[in-house]
Structure 1
Amino acid sequence: MNQTSLDKNMIEESALLEGEAPMPGAPSVLISDSKACIPQHFMTFQHDRQSVEEVVSNINFDEDYLVFVDEDKAGVFIQLGIVGKDNYRQDNDKKIVYGRRWRVEATLPTSEIIQTVFLAIKSAREHEIRELFKLSILGGVATPFNNHHDLPMMANYSDQFLCQSHANNKLQSDFSITDLLASITYDNAKFTLIDIEQRHNGTYLIDIQILPFFQGRLSELINKTLTLLVHELTANAVLHELMTQLVQLSNRYVEENFKFKQFARFSRSVSIDAIANTSILTRSNVAKEASESFKTIFKNSNYETDITRVPSIHDSVLGCALRNRLKSFGSLQGILPKNFLPNKSVD
Structure 2
Amino acid sequence: MEEESLSRWIAETKTEWDAAFKLMLNYYETELFRSFKIAYHAATWYRFKNPALIFPEEREMLFSTPNAEIPFDYYPSQIAKLGINAHNFAYLADVEEYYPYNFSLFLWEQKEYITPLQRANLRVAHFIPDALVEVTREGLRSFLKSRGKLEGLGSYEDPLVVIETLGLMGMPRRDDMLNFVKDVNEDRKAGATFNAFLETPYLFSFAGMVTPPALNEDKKYGIRRRDELARIKMLMSHYVSGELPDETLHAELQRAGYTTTIEDRTYKPEDAVDLRWVKLEYALERVKKSIAVYEHKAAHSNYYCYADMVDALMRIAEKESTAAQSYL
Please give the range of the TM-score, normalised by the shorter of the 2 chains.
Answer: under 0.3
Q: Which one scores higher on RCO, CA 8 angstroms, separation ≥ 6?
A: 2
Q: Which has the larger radius of gyration?
A: 1
> Normalised by the size of structure 2, how large is the TM-score?
0.28
